[in-house]
Amino acid sequence: MKDFKIACGYFWKYLKQYWLAVTIMIVLTLLATFFQVIAPIYMGNAVTALTKYVAQLADPVTRASASMAAFYTALKLMALYFLLNVLAQFIAWMIMSKFNADATNGMRKNLFAKLQRMKIRYFDTHQDGKILSLFTSDIDNIFNALNNAVFEIVSQGALYIGTLIVMFSINVKLALITVASTPFVLVIALVIMSKARKYLDAQQDEISNLNGYVNEQINGEQVILSNGLQQESIAGFKKYNQRVKDTMFKGQFYSGLLFPLMQGLSLLNLAIVIVGGIWLIVADSMNTATGLGLIVMFVQYSQTYFQSLTQLTSIYSMIQLALTGARRLAKVEAQAEEDLVLDGKKQEGLRSKVALNDVHFSYDEGKEILHGIDLSVDKGQMLALVGPTGSGKTTTMNLFNRFYDVDSGSVTFDGVDVRDLTLKSLRSKVGIVLQDSLLFTGTIADNIKYGKPDASDEEMIAAAKQAQIHDFVVSLPDGYATKVSDEQSIFSTGQKQLVSIARTLLSDPDFLILDEATSNVDTVTEEKIQQAMDAVLAGRTSFVIAHRLKTIVNADKIAVLRDGNVIEQGSHAELIAQKGFYYDLYTNQMVLD
Amino acid sequence: MEILKPHLKNYLGAIIGAVISIIVAAGASLLQPRILQFILDNLLKNDRQAMFNYGMILIALAVIGVIAGILNVYFAARVAQGVTSDLREETYRKIQTFSLSNIEKFSASTLVVRLINDMNQVLNVVMTTFMQVLRMPIMIIGAFVLGIVTIPRFWWLQVVMFLAVALVIGLTFPQLGKMFDRFQKKLDRSNTIAKEAMQGIRVIKSFNQQENEEERFGEVSDEMNDLNIKIGYVFSCLLPAFFLVCNVGITAVVYLVGINVENNPGELAAITSYIGYLMQMLFTLAFGGMTMAMYARGFVSLGRIKEVLDTKPDLTFDPNAPEVELDGTVEFDNVSFAYPGAENETLKNISFKVAPGESIGVIGATGSGKSTLAQLMTRLYDPTSGVVKVGGVDLREVNEGSLRKAVSLVLQKALLFSGKISDNLRQGDRNATTKDFRWAARISQAAEFVEHYDDQYEHPVEERSANFSGGQKQRLSITRGVVGKPKVLILDDSTSALDAKSEKRVKEALEKELTQTTTFVIAEKIFSVMDADRIMVLDQGQIVALGSHQELLANSQVYREIYETQRAKDKIEEGEL
């Protein structure tokens, strides 16, 4: 119930600005439904009038006074209501199309903007794929439901209730006969739907298992080929394929069942209504004309009644999906955002030093990662951080530009706590070169100018040259205008890293954080990366997670991190002289990662 | 469609069942208004017995309709599932006959899409065919004929109505299809932006680019919105237009019956049933139009699958080649090779001969053709010209099993398959025992972490081998490579993620345990190949030097240069500079 409220709150938030359109749409839909229910009455009346007319013609006494006037009146009204129905429907749908699309657009844009404002923690603790499914599936489900389900609920609900009222006002007995089977029908429909849902879920799981298998096998085809494993691979495939076949059969069968079953039941109900109607005419000794008109009407009503019942049951699952989606989206909207510190001081330029003062930090409460770290880098100097995997190097890196905030202690720029600086000014002065480099879809120029979109081409080329990527870029037919995306492989991993260094060079930060790790690159590219890194480090205050001995040895200061503590600190010569942990690392060929 | 034919044959029983049941179900729906009319007729005539009889027939029709409908779903699902899963298997079998270049031409990911998403489209096509498409002509023709039988003089009205609806559909549906395609493209684009924004969130935040990202996304989102509204407007016109046509039809029928009721009083009771037929015809037509739009997509998928099935494997082994035990001789005789579609040759006139048990180091920059050499030795590709021989046999004539048994390739990218460690190791030798695993894992230095697990070699390998580090993956991959005691072992940069100490231990163990095995060690760094019997230096697809470390130092200018640059770096790392 609470979940339902949250979901409704979400819809309210995005639909309330369209209240006028929504109201008009609902009123028009109700009107359309009303006309839809009324029209058959006049059709019945027209038939009754004609029957009477024929009877009057047949009887010599009334032959002269027989008139078609009543028929024409009924026919005109029927045509009028048909027309009004179509007109009201048309306007309602036009209005609805607009506000549904607009509301969904608002949801989509807000979701994206919200994600941009959220803390890094959220992204580190949630899989990209799951976050992405908010866009690909949840918003989609909501749009579908708004477009189909909402309208259907209003119109079919009104139709259902309207038909009920009209039926009962015309003839209570026949109305009772018409609705008698409803509870039975509902139970059958719900049972089938829940079964279908269950097997459709299972089907989804099996398909994703098969997908996983096929994906792994085909991507590993080189291993399969070079070991001659094709037959084994096919045998494995057959198992997954069989399971997909079996569960999909059940899913398709049960979900396909609803339609013919409801159609059949509708027909059966029709038969009941007719038989019941005939029995009524006889039992209540109605005159034939009235009776015929009554049955003609109820034949229509029974069909309408059943149609709305079928529609209402079949949109049930659509609505469930939309509610789940809304709940998930509402949950994301409730997530904490980064504090922009709009009233904070502006970080203008680094004057003396950057420091970590007695910093304690944990990702999860109770599991402290950093236990009181003190580090400082003077302006223009380089601090190299070394230590084994899991010592807290990357974590430390995350604190400078507030990807994470300390538990206690402080990170300061010229003595000012980073939490007292406006976030924007802080980040504009802090640059990061990450180990994994990512390219955004767009041109190479867009990617290099990413941090400074208004940079001139000359500035961009200068940065690219310093980053050792210019020659490669100009060798491409479209040069800097070449379109790239992260998936397509114009650039190797190493070259991507060069682009990301060029990006940082162009944005010219005061203080630089650099993760030196380079993975899987050939010697030539590695050489280039190192030159590029040297270029970006030159003359800048920097904090480097060092992997190369040259960097470490050349650093102004080296800090050795181990299990979340700084265990040694000093220049290369000093640390060697200490004959401590650093000395061991150094003499053991520096196996760092 | 033709690729479905052979599979459809296997489900003839179910197909006949589906066809019969759909005819029965359609027949039941078609007869219903007619029976209704008879009942009303007899109501006018006050013939109770006849009314009762027809009432019973109506109930029987309903029951038959339900049963036929359920049977139809059952049979249609059987056929659809059977045919699709057979076709999927056929396609997968076909893919397994492909060479590496066949697969690369398609790309692995599109093959996966064809096996999963396109197959699901095919499934829908088959299902729709046996549930709706076959029903359509029966319903339309049936309703048309029965309508004429009911009130013959209105035949022209039916024709006019049919044409009116067909016209509306014919005019709007192709436009709608185009709009949907455009929408799909925008959707893909917006998803890409969202994905990149998730993956690159640190970059975005550290460059303060949130607002620009929002703008980028907003633009696409607005474009999607415009399209959505347009599509909505088209539907808002389309559906009322359809209902308008239907309503005009109904009104016309009542009017036409009314003005002529004196001459044809019998038509009064026929009104409801006539309108029933008219509506059945028009609704089937409109619904059919939508079905056909979806159907068209399914045919695109069928075409994409056919493309896979029609592809000829460009490298096959002679099934009649005799099984022989190959020794560790490897010979390249004037081999040149260019990747399919590439302009330049990756390897040019390579000739060398290696004796069993010899160790060969291969070095050269990226793109010098080192890995290609390995792919030719394992016959993942055939040379463009020249001959590659292993154990004295030309690989074009070798028995596949014999070659796989003799030559083992360990890739830099250590590909493990989800399952268990033992499953992966057995890929190297189907009959390997735990004893063999232990022996091999000692060589690759994997034993030290594998035998740490409680379940040892039965330890699970997760998807994307996420539960192992890069170094562990490489060691397991080397284990798989040596477990079958191959005659030729190729390590293609497969120790890149190992630290210097482990790498050294692996090499020592290989030397000690696999004395009869010819080993090729492909590497970027001289340090990794220095101890080999002979070192081959590749540069732009050609062998520029071949000899022992000492010989090359003395005779090869290129080798000396590489050595000097790498040594200079080593020296820095040793702190001498």
Same domain? For B448 and B477 the reply is: yes
Q: Which of A281, A453, A524 sits opposite B366 (nearest CB)?
A: A524
Going through A349-437 in order, the beta strands assigned E by DSSP cover 353-364, 367-378, 382-386, 408-413, 416-417, 430-433
Q: Which of A104, A210, A434 sits opposite B116 (nearest CB)?
A: A210
**Domain end position, chosen among B309, B340, B358:** B309
Element (H, E) at B407: strand B407-410
Q: Which of B69, B92, B229 sits opposite A98 (nearest CB)?
A: B229
Residue B443 domain-assigned (yes or no): yes
Same domain? For B232 and B337 the reply is: no
Sign, CA dihedral A528-A534-A535-A536, equals: positive
Q: What is d(CA A519, CA A77) in angstroms, rounded to the nearest whole number?
A: 80
CB contact under 8 A, A221 and B108: yes
Find the range with the poorest average confidence among B29-38, B251-260, B288-297.
Answer: B288-297
* Chain B contact present for A577, CB below 8 A: no
Same domain? For B393 and B269 the reply is: no
The reported pLDDT for the residue numbered B77 is 92
Cβ burial, residue A487 (10 Å; 0-12/13-18/19+): exposed
Report the chain A residue with the minimal C-alpha distance to residue B46: A288
Extract the tokens encoding A96: 């609805």
Same domain? For B198 and B256 the reply is: yes
Extract the tokens encoding A10: 């979400």
Per-residue pLDDT of A292-329, as tens digits, reads 778 777 887 888 888 888 888 878 777 888 888 899 89
Report the chain A residue with the minimal C-alpha distance to residue B271: A47
* Chain B contact present for A256, CB below 8 A: yes
Measured between CA atoms, how close is A210 to chain B, in angstroms? Answer: 8
**Domain end position, chosen among B309, B344, B377:** B309
CB contact under 8 A, B239 and A102: no
Same domain? For B39 and B130 the reply is: yes
Q: Kind of pairing, strands B518-523 and B534-539?
A: unpaired
Extract the tokens encoding B536: 């081959």
- 3-state DSSP of B245-279: HHHHHHHHHHHHHHHCCCCCCCHHHHHHHHHHHHH
* Chain B contact present for A279, CB below 8 A: no
Extract the tokens encoding A508: 């010219």
CB contact under 8 A, B131 and A112: no
Residue B320 domain-assigned (yes or no): no
The reported pLDDT for the residue numbered A113 is 92
Sequence spans of domains, chain A = 2-333, 379-391+428-587
The reported pLDDT for the residue numbered B573 is 47
Residue pair B573/A590 in contact (Cβ under 8 Å)? The answer is: yes
Residue B323 domain-assigned (yes or no): no
Same domain? For B116 and B249 the reply is: yes
For chains A and B, count residue pairs whose Cβ atoms are closer than 8 Å: 379
Q: What is the DSSP letter of A337?
A: B
Among residues 371-410 of chain A, which lie with CB inside 8 Å of chain B? 401, 403
CB contact under 8 A, B36 and A117: no
Q: Give DSSP secondary structure letters for B471-516.
A: HHHHHHHHHHHHTT--SEEEEESTTTTS-HHHHHHHHHHHHHH-TT
Q: Kind of pairing, strands B518-523 and B359-363?
A: parallel
Q: What is d(CA A486, CA A254) in angstroms, rounded to the nearest whole number?
A: 42
Confidence of residue B568 (pLDDT cuts 50, 70, 90): low
Nearest to A395 by CA among A364, A366, A437, A424: A364
Mean pLDDT of B536-546: 86
CB contact under 8 A, A256 and B76: yes
Report the chain A residue with the minimal C-alpha distance to residue B499: A591
Same domain? For B282 and B341 the reply is: no
Mean pLDDT of B378-395: 88
Find the range with the poorest average confidence among A558-562, B154-158, B307-311, B537-541.
Answer: B537-541
- Which of B225, B238, B464, B522 would you mutate first to test chain A, the one with the most A CBs within 10 A? B225
The reported pLDDT for the residue numbered A101 is 92
Residue B475 domain-assigned (yes or no): yes
CB contact under 8 A, B229 and A215: no
List per-residue pLDDT tens for chain A, 593 residues long: 788 889 889 999 999 999 999 999 999 999 998 888 888 888 888 888 888 888 888 888 888 888 888 889 999 999 999 999 999 999 999 999 999 999 999 999 999 999 999 998 888 887 777 788 888 778 888 888 888 887 788 888 888 888 888 889 988 888 998 888 889 888 988 888 888 888 888 888 888 888 888 888 888 888 888 888 888 889 999 999 999 999 989 988 988 888 888 887 887 888 788 778 878 877 877 777 777 778 777 887 888 888 888 888 878 777 888 888 899 899 999 988 888 888 888 888 888 889 999 999 998 888 888 998 999 999 889 999 887 766 788 888 889 989 999 999 999 999 899 999 999 888 888 888 876 777 888 889 998 998 888 889 998 999 998 888 888 888 888 889 888 876 655 677 778 888 888 888 888 888 988 887 655 555 567 777 878 888 888 888 999 887 766 778 788 899 988 888 888 888 888 888 888 888 777 765 444 43
Q: Which residues, other chains included, contact A102 with Cβ-Cβ below 8 Å and sequence gap of 6+?
A: A18, B225, B229
What value, to the nearest 5°, has the Cα angle with vertex A95 and ends A94 and A98? 90
Per-residue pLDDT of A3-14, as tens digits, reads 888 988 999 999
CATH superfamily name and code, A379-391+428-587: P-loop containing nucleotide triphosphate hydrolases (3.40.50.300)
From chain A, the residues in CB contact with B195 under 8 A are: 128, 132
> Which amino acid, A360?
H
Nearest to B27 by CA among B289, B292, B280: B280
Measured between CA atoms, how close is A464 to chain B, in angstroms? Answer: 18
Report the chain A residue with the minimal C-alpha distance to residue B58: A271
Flag whether pLDDT at B577 surpasses 50.
no
CB contact under 8 A, B66 and A147: no
Q: What is d(CA B121, CA A6) in angstroms, rounded to the nearest whole number?
A: 36
What's the gap between Cα A279 and its chain centre? 57
From chain A, the residues in CB contact with B206 under 8 A are: 401, 427, 430-432
Same domain? For B337 and B292 the reply is: no
Residue A543 pairs with which residues in a beta bridge? A383, A513
What value, to the nearest 5°, has the Cα angle with vertex A270 and ends A266 and A275? 150
Per-residue pLDDT of B265-293, as tens digits, reads 778 778 878 888 898 899 888 888 877 77
CB contact under 8 A, B380 and A50: no
The pTM of the whole model exceeds 0.90: no
Q: Which of A71, A85, A94 sits opposite B236 (nearest CB)?
A: A94
For residue A447, give Cα distances in angstroms to A111, B191, B199, B568.
24, 19, 15, 34
Residue in the block written with tokens 């009503």: A301
Mean pLDDT of B54-81: 89
Q: Which residues, other chains included, contact B315 with Cβ-Cβ below 8 Å and sequence gap of 6+?
A: B99, B101, B102, B379, B380, B381, B382
> Which amino acid, B465?
S
Measured between CA atoms, how close is A1 to chain B, in angstroms? Answer: 32
Q: What is the DSSP letter of B209?
A: -
Report the chain A residue with the minimal C-alpha distance to residue B486: A227
SS3 A390: coil
Q: Kind of pairing, strands B393-394 and B385-390?
A: antiparallel
* Chain B contact present for A165, CB below 8 A: no
Cβ burial, residue A85 (10 Å; 0-12/13-18/19+): buried
Measured between CA atoms, how close is A68 to chain B, in angstroms? Answer: 8
Residue B98 domain-assigned (yes or no): yes
Q: What is d(CA B241, CA B232) in angstroms, rounded to the nearest whole number?
A: 14
Q: What is d(CA A453, CA B215) in angstroms, rounded to the nearest whole number?
A: 13
Q: What is d(CA B508, CA B504) in angstroms, rounded to the nearest whole number?
A: 6
Q: Give DSSP secondary structure letters for A63-118.
A: TTT--SHHHHHHHHHHHHHHHHHHHHHHHHHHHHHHHHHHHHHHHHHHHHHHHHHB
CB contact under 8 A, A120 and B205: yes
SS3 B532: coil
Question: Hey, how many other C-beta atoms are within 10 angstroms of the C-beta on A247?
Answer: 20
Buried b (16+ CB within 10 A) or exposed e, A282-307: eeeebeebebbbbbbbbbbbbbbbbb
Flag whether pLDDT at B207 surpasses 50.
yes
Q: Which of A53, A85, A116 sits opposite B213 (nearest CB)?
A: A116
Sign, CA dihedral B481-B483-B484-B487, equals: positive
Extract the tokens encoding B54: 């027809």
From chain B, the residues in CB contact with A86 under 8 A are: 240, 243-244, 247
Q: Any idea of the CA torsion for B27, B30, B33, B38, to the nearest 10 degrees? A: -50
Mean pLDDT of B456-471: 78
Same domain? For B294 and B337 the reply is: no
For residue B282, give Cα distances in angstroms to B161, B300, B403.
8, 28, 66
How confident is the prediction for chain B on average, in pLDDT?
84
The reported pLDDT for the residue numbered A589 is 46
CATH number for the domain that contains residue B219:
1.20.1560.10
Among residues 447-486 of chain A, which lie with CB inside 8 Å of chain B? 450-451, 453, 485-486
Residue B282 domain-assigned (yes or no): yes
Tally of domains in chain B: 2
From chain B, the residues in CB contact with A427 under 8 A are: 205-208
Residue in the block written with tokens 């969904």: A104
Residue B118 domain-assigned (yes or no): yes
Q: Which of B199, B378, B572 sits opposite A549 (nearest CB)?
A: B572
Nearest to B533 by CA among B327, B362, B364, B378: B362
Residue in the block written with tokens 């260094």: A501
Q: What is d(CA A444, CA B25) in angstroms, rounded to the nearest whole number?
A: 61
- How many CA atoms are closer than 13 Å to the CA of A573, on its beta-carbon side? 1
Q: What are phi and psi of B546, to 5 degrees?
A: -150, 120
CATH number for the domain that contains residue B456:
3.40.50.300
Class of the CATH domain delimited by A2-333: mainly alpha
Q: What is d(CA B317, CA B264) in angstroms, rounded to the nearest whole number?
A: 81
Flag whether pLDDT at B359 surpasses 50.
yes
Which domain, by its residues, includes B377?
A: 330-573
Same domain? For B424 and B303 the reply is: no
The reported pLDDT for the residue numbered A99 is 92
Question: Hey, how many other C-beta atoms are within 10 angstroms of the C-beta on B362?
Answer: 27
Confidence of residue B505 (pLDDT cuts 50, 70, 90): confident
Q: Which residues, other chains included, contact A310 with Cβ-Cβ below 8 Å and sequence gap of 6+?
A: A189, A258, A262, A266
From chain B, the residues in CB contact with A131 under 8 A are: 198
Same domain? For B254 and B334 the reply is: no
Extract the tokens encoding B424: 């992966």
CB contact under 8 A, B92 and A237: yes
Q: What is d(CA B7, CA B12) in angstroms, rounded to the nearest whole number?
A: 9
Q: What is the DSSP letter of A521?
A: -
Among residues 506-545 of chain A, which lie with CB inside 8 Å of chain B? 507, 519-520, 522-525
Same domain? For B294 and B371 the reply is: no
